[in-house]
Amino acid sequence: MGGSEFVLNVFVGFLILSGIILDKMGIRFTLLLSGITMVLGAAVKFYALKYIDHTAVTNILGWQLPTTAFVAYCGFATFGVGVEMAGITVSKLL
pLDDT tens per residue across span 47-91? 998 888 888 888 888 888 888 988 999 999 999 999 999 999 999
What are the C-alpha distances in Å from 83 to residues 2, 32, 51, 71, 89?
13, 12, 25, 18, 10
Q: Where are the domains of the chain?
A: 4-93
Q: Where are the alpha helices (DSSP H) in 9-66?
A: 14-25, 27-51
Q: How many CA atoms lie within 13 A of 45 on its CB side?
A: 18
Position 6 scores a pLDDT of 81
The pTM assigned to this predicted structure is: 0.87
Are the C-beta atoms of residues 71 and 78 closer than 8 Å to each other?
no
Spatial CB neighbours of 80, under 8 Å, sequence gap ≥ 6 = 4, 5, 6, 7, 8, 9, 41
Position 21 scores a pLDDT of 94
Position 85 scores a pLDDT of 94
In whole angstroms, give the CA distance from residue 75 to residue 71: 6
In whole angstroms, give the CA distance from residue 29 to residue 12: 22
Average pLDDT over residues 14-19: 92
Closest by CA position to 14, among listed 83, 81, 88: 81
